[in-house]
């Protein structure tokens, strides 16, 4: 059954993704948690497989346009896939319904959203300031740095579903200034497919995926992405990203507040148990 509320939400998220290029995880996971009351672990796992489906379509389009640098994708995957498997293995040791797991996920998610919002606002300034330094790296260090970036993205995405979009693109712009932007975006999307698929598969094995939500989200988001992509060249990109960054700051602040409340409850329960 298609839930129209999820489909409408998916449409508006897809619209923003199409217009700004920011990964849906930055928008969809907080939306599921804050608006629909979905458990954070289920929201992350559901969004990961939802992202794998949408990014597969995007990578096919970029592949046909020959705008993917598979060397960069392989380097990112060399770091992200082992990090993803290890992170999911560690998460599987937790009781995902516990307050500790909820607190961990909301903390990482809020931090990743803050970073994404900062990247949206100051990403261009950062790349202009540090690009000259990064250009001095030799090819071996560039390759090693790319693998390290992949590992960080694997950890972030596995826990929060956020990071493979804006953060990944800025990192690639710094490391590969000679690549056209279309190939950077295409490479980032192609790398996100195995990353989100493996991480989402791990969450599915842990039981933190809701397939009914995925179907409803896809029913709304695919048309939204198409329409958003059409209007992307007709609306000032800078204005869109500033508005989106403000939204992410507010959402991240709300999640940070929930994390602080949850952590306080866990600490209180622990001290009561520890004190005879």
Say if residues 174 and 102 touch (Cβ distance below 8 Å): no
Q: Which residue has the tokens 């619209």?
A: 15
For the chain, the structural domain boundaries read 4-274
Q: What is the pLDDT of residue 264?
A: 62
- Per-residue pLDDT of the chain (276 residues), as tens digits, is 778 889 998 888 877 776 666 666 678 888 888 888 888 889 999 999 988 887 887 788 778 878 889 999 999 999 999 999 999 999 888 887 777 778 888 888 888 888 888 877 777 777 777 666 666 667 888 899 999 999 999 999 999 888 777 788 888 888 888 888 778 888 888 898 899 999 999 999 999 899 989 989 888 888 887 777 666 556 666 666 677 777 777 777 877 877 677 656 554 554 555 555
Distance of CA 48 to the CA centre of its chain: 8
Residue 268 CB neighbours (<10 A): 10
Q: Which residues contact 86 (CB under 8 A, 6 or more apart)?
A: none
- By the 10 Å C-beta count (0-12 exposed, 13-18 middle, 19+ buried), 133 is classed as exposed
């Amino acid at each position: 059954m298609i839930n129209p509320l999820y489909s409408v939400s998916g449409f508006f998220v897809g619209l923003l993704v199409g217009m700004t290029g920011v990964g849906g995880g930055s928008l969809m996971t907080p939306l599921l948690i804050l608006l629909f009351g979905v458990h954070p672990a289920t929201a992350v796992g559901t969004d990961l497989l939802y992202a794998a489906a949408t990014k597969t379509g995007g990578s096919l389009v970029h592949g046909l346009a020959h705008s993917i640098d598979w060397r960069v994708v392989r380097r990112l995957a060399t770091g992200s896939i082992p990090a993803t498997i290890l992170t999911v293995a560690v998460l599987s040791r937790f009781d995902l319904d516990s307050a500790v797991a909820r607190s961990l996920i909301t903390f990482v998610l809020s931090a990743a959203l803050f970073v994404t919002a900062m990247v949206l606002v100051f990403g261009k300034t950062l790349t202009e300031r540090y690009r000259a330094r990064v250009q001095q790296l030799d090819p071996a260090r560039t390759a090693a740095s790319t693998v390290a970036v992949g590992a960080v993205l694997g950890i972030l995405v596995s826990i929060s579903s956020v990071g493979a979009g804006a953060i990944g693109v800025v990192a690639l712009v710094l490391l590969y200034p000679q690549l056209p932007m279309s190939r950077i975006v295409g490479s980032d999307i192609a790398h996100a497919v195995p990353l989100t698929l493996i991480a989402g598969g791990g969450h599915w094995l842990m039981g933190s995926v809701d397939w009914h939500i995925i179907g409803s989200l896809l029913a709304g988001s695919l048309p939204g992405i198409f329409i958003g992509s059409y209007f992307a060249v007709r609306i000032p990109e800078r204005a869109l990203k500033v508005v989106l960054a403000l939204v992410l700051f507010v959402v991240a602040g709300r999640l940070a507040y929930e994390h602080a409340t949850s952590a306080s409850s866990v600490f209180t329960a622990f001290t009561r148990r520890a004190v005879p």
